[in-house]
A and B are shown apart, each in its own frame.
Chain A
Amino acid sequence: DGGITQSPKYLFRKEGQNVTLSCEQNLNHDAMYWYRQDPGQGLRLIYYSQIVNDFQKGDIAEGYSVSREKKESFPLTVTSAQKNPTAFYLCASGRGGTSRTDTQYFGPGTRLTVL
């Protein structure tokens, strides 16, 4: 089956720790995106990548880092610098960020809780 997988589904972190969220897609999409979702705030873009070995900051990149070494994978690291990391994190992919018509398809999400 083609799709986007995110792991783990639930993640608990102690304050001061870095954690990495996995996102993998087998849709052969060039573009990948990371969003953060908080209750009542919709989705906010953290980072996005239009092609392998390249990525750009979104609207709330502070305290996060990403890499794009493979087309299929776009892991997100939540660092200890992120002040309020407890949230639901969604990964998405699209055929290519070359126009506004790119349709994004979403993974199932990872819920991160800081203890």
Chain B
Amino acid sequence: AQSVTQPDIHITVSEGASLELRCNYSYGATPYLFWYVQSPGQGLQLLLKYFSGDTLVQGIKGFEAEFKRSQSSFNLRKPSVHWSDAAEYFCAVGVKGNTGKLIFGQGTTLQVKP
């Protein structure tokens, strides 16, 4: 069955430090992958997505993600974290078949230390 795993429930980084959030997926074909961010009490905002082509994808707010088929991963990175990046981050994969459905990971909460 398709699934998405975000191994880190909670991550704390210092402001200005680099960030990498991990995402692993289980899928039998070419995946369609997404990263969303959620501030407390708010909806989800799309950061970036991968459908095909270049495996390094650029998104909003200075984020990027790299698709690695051999590792079944789609890790999110940012070279220098800002205090405003503190939020919850969700990885998602498009479900097989023509439904438009997504499967979400459990989420990773990012805390930023001053």
Contact = CB atoms under 8 A, between A and B. Distances in A.
A76 B44 CA distance: 19
Interface string B78-111: 0000000000001000111111111011110000
Which of B46, B90, B95, B101 counts the most A-chain CB atoms under 10 A from its CB? Answer: B101
A104 B105 contact: no
A48 B98 contact: no
A106 B101 CA distance: 13
A86 B45 CA distance: 23
Contact of A97 (B9, B90, B98): B98
Contacts, number: 71
B41 interface: yes
A42 B46 contact: no
Interface of A: 4, 6, 31, 33, 40-43, 45, 48, 50, 56, 58, 90, 92, 94, 96-109, 111
19 contacts: A31-B100, A40-B107, A42-B106, A43-B90, A45-B101, A48-B99, A48-B100, A48-B101, A50-B100, A90-B44, A99-B98, A99-B100, A100-B99, A103-B46, A104-B46, A104-B100, A106-B43, A106-B44, A108-B42
Interface of B: 9, 32, 34, 36, 41-46, 49, 51, 90, 94-102, 104-107
